[in-house]
Homo-oligomer: A and B are copies of this chain.
Amino acid sequence: MDAPMDLHGTPTQEAFRAEARAWLEAHAPAPRSLPSLDTASGFEAHRAWEAEMAADRWSVVSWPEEYGGRGVGILEWLIFEEEYWKLQAPLRVSQNGIFLLAPTLFEFGTDEQKSRFLPPMAAATEIWCQGWSEPDAGSDLAGIRSRARRSETEGGWVLTGQKTWASRGAFAEWCFGLFRTDPEAERHKGLTYFLIDMATPGVTVRPIPQIDGETGFAELFFEEVFVPDHLVLGEVGKGWNVAMATAGSERGLSLRSPARYTEAANRLVDLYAERFTGDPDRTRRSADAVAAAWMDAEAYRLNTLWTATRVLEGGAVGPEASANKIHWSQTDLAIHRAALDLLGPTAEFHGDGIDAPWLDGYLFALAGPIYAGTNEIQRNVVAERMLGLPRA
Contacts and interface: CB of A to CB of B under 8 A. Distances in A.
Interface of A: 284-285, 287-288
A287 B286 CA distance: 11
Contacts of A285: 287-288
4 contacts: A284-B284, A285-B287, A285-B288, A288-B288
Q: How many copies does the complex hold?
A: 2
A288 to B, nearest CB: 6
Contacts of A288: 285, 288
A280 B285 CA distance: 13
Nearest to A286: B288
Nearest to A392: B392
A75 to B, nearest CB: 37
Contacts of A287: 285
A321 B381 CA distance: 33
Contacts of A284: 284
A284 B285 CA distance: 8
A288 B288 CA distance: 10
A365 B287 CA distance: 28
Q: Which 4 pairs, one residue from A and one from B, show the smallest C-beta to C-beta distance? A: A285-B288, A284-B284, A285-B287, A288-B288
Nearest to A285: B288
Nearest to A281: B284
A288 B284 CA distance: 10
A186 to B, nearest CB: 22
A281 to B, nearest CB: 9
A287 B285 CA distance: 8
A285 B284 CA distance: 8
A288 B287 CA distance: 11
Nearest to A287: B285
A285 B288 CA distance: 7
Nearest to A291: B285
Nearest to A284: B284
A285 B283 CA distance: 11
A284 B283 CA distance: 12
A148 to B, nearest CB: 35
A254 B21 CA distance: 66
A287 B284 CA distance: 10
A285 B287 CA distance: 8
Nearest to A288: B285
A284 B288 CA distance: 10
A221 B288 CA distance: 51
A199 B62 CA distance: 79
A309 to B, nearest CB: 35
A284 B38 CA distance: 43
A287 B282 CA distance: 12
A340 to B, nearest CB: 16
A166 to B, nearest CB: 30
A392 to B, nearest CB: 8
A351 to B, nearest CB: 31
A254 B15 CA distance: 71
A337 to B, nearest CB: 14
